[in-house]
Amino acid sequence: MTMADRQVLVVEDNPTNMKLVRDVLTHDGYTVIEGTTAEAGIALAHEHLPQVILLDIQLPGQMDGLDAVKRLKHDERTMAIPVVAVTALAMTQDKQRALDAGFDGYLEKPISIDALREVVRLLVDRRSDDGD
């Protein structure tokens, strides 16, 4: 697997949390592409076609994570990329809404570092297996 195969797009507007995720994933050997708005995230997804996308739901700007995941899942180029919600929305219905919108997974903030590493590893591996 080349480095290009191990790209994770993280869309997160809080710089500290971005740093945490970036540092952990970089440590584990992924290339982290960073976006801070849903619009930027969609553009970066098209540009880099990452292995996994971690997407915050509450984002500044016109679109939120729910809008973004719908776009990604309706676009042939990006529909196969697993998108994981990383959110501080803690209500049960928030989680349901996220899954309904097209997210493949849901990480509740504060995220467990172990869970983050495990989820990303599994999803990247799955993609790698698909590619094999």
Partner 1 sequence: MEQGADRAGEQGAELERLQADLDEARQQLEATTEVLTTVARSPADSRGVLASLVETARRLIRAEIAQIHLIEGDWYRLASSSGLSEEYLDFVRHHPIAMDRQTLIGRVGLERQAQQIRDVLADSEYGRQDIQEIGGYRSILGVPMILDEEIIGVLSAWRTEVDPFPERAIQVLTTFAAQAAIVIRNADLVSALESGQSELEAKVDQLEALGEIGQAVSSSLDLDQVLTKIVTHAVELTEADGGSVFEFDELSEEFYLRTTFGTSRDTAEALQAIHMKLRETLVGRAALQRKSLQIPDLRLVDCDPHLAVLLSRGWISVIAVPILRDQQIIGALVIRRKTEGGFSEELGELLETFAGQSAVAIVNARLYAELARKSAHLEVASRYKSEFIASMSHELRTPLNAVIGFSEVLLQRMFGDINDKQEEYLQDILVSGRHLLALLNDILDMSKADAGVVLEPSVFEVRPALEECILWVSDKAGRRGLRIERDYGEEVETIRADEKRFKQVIGNLLSNAGKFARSHIEVSAHNDGDMLTVAVSDDGLGIAPEDQGIIFEPFQQGKRPSREEGTGLGLALCRQYIGLHQGDITVQSELGHGSTFTVTFPLDLPPSQPEEAATGDAVPAGPVVAIVEDDPRSRELLCLYVEKVGVGFVTASDGREGLDLIRRADPVAVVLDIQLPTLDGWDLLALLKADPHTAAIPVVVVSMVDERSKGLALGAAEYLVKPVRGEELRAALRRVTGRPQGDRVLVAVGEDPDLPASLQAALEPEGWTVLSARDEVEGEALVRQNRPAVVLVDLLGTGTSGLALVEALRNNHLTEEVPIIALAPPAMTAHDKERLQGQIDLINRNGEFDVSKLVDVVHRATHHVLPPRDA
Residues found near partner 1 in the complex (CB under 8 A):
14, 16-17, 20-21, 23-24, 27, 58, 66, 88-91, 93, 96-97, 100-101, 109-114
Alpha carbon 73 to chain centroid distance? 13
* Nearer to partner 1 among residue 78 and residue 94 (C-beta): 94
* Phi, psi angle pair for 51, to nearest 5°: -70, -40
Strand partners, 127: none
* Nearer to partner 1 among residue 117 and residue 126 (C-beta): 117
From the list 14, 5, 9, 6, the residue with the least C-alpha distance to 87 is: 14
| Closest approach of partner 1 to the CB of residue 49, in Å | 27
| Closest approach of partner 1 to the CB of residue 101, in Å | 8
Find the Cα–Cα–Cα–Cα dihedral 23, 29, 34, 39, rounded to 10°.
Answer: -140
| Closest approach of partner 1 to the CB of residue 18, in Å | 10
* Nearer to partner 1 among residue 29 and residue 125 (C-beta): 29
From the list 114, 117, 99, the residue with the least C-alpha distance to 57 is: 99
| Closest approach of partner 1 to the CB of residue 103, in Å | 12
